[in-house]
Amino acid sequence: MIKPSVSRRITAFFLDWLVATVSLAAFLIAAAALYSSSNAILNLFGLLSSLLGVIAWAAYLLLRDGLFEGASLGKKLMKMQVLRSDGRPCDLCRSVLRNVVLLMPPIVFLEPVLLAVDGMGKRLGDRIAKTQVTVRIP
């Protein structure tokens, strides 16, 4: 297994964050358009659109590494993959385990430091889920 650089991993994370945030923005724009109406039904749909946007944002960030054979969209672009300790691609359950820590504000800032000092390039989420990010070999 080839360990990707910290900068490569951070770039993939920001690409994934961008994907999630753009989808959230689309839901919020729709919500604003619907909620600005004087119609109560449209206001309800606007509120639901906001809620769906937040759910879609969080779901992508939590599940992303289990969706495409262990490679989120950002990791695919950066040619990386998340593997389980048995060498198989990350599944949805392990994806949630490894990414839930990133929704905790103090830890999200600590994770790049852990990546840099860990010889295997494992962050806290990788240790919890028993996963490893590697460079994809075509």
Residue 125 lies in a domain: yes
Q: Kindly report the pTM of this predicted structure.
A: 0.82
Residue 123 lies in a domain: yes
Segments forming the whole domain that contains residue 46: 6-135
- CA separation (Å) from 80 to 33, 48, 56, 66, 95? 38, 35, 23, 13, 15
- Look at residue 2 in the predicted model and tell me its pLDDT: 86
Residue 50 lies in a domain: yes
Residue 1 lies in a domain: no
Q: What is the pLDDT along the chain (138 residues), one digit of tens a residue?
A: 788 888 898 899 999 999 999 999 998 888 888 777 778 878 788 888 888 999 999 999 999 999 999 999 999 999 999 999 999 999 999 999 999 988 888 888 888 888 888 888 888 899 999 999 999 876
Q: What is the DSSP letter of 101?
A: G
23, 65 contact by CB (below 8 A): no
Instruction: Please give the tally of structural domains in the chain.
Output: 1
C-alpha 90/C-alpha 84 separation (Å) is 5
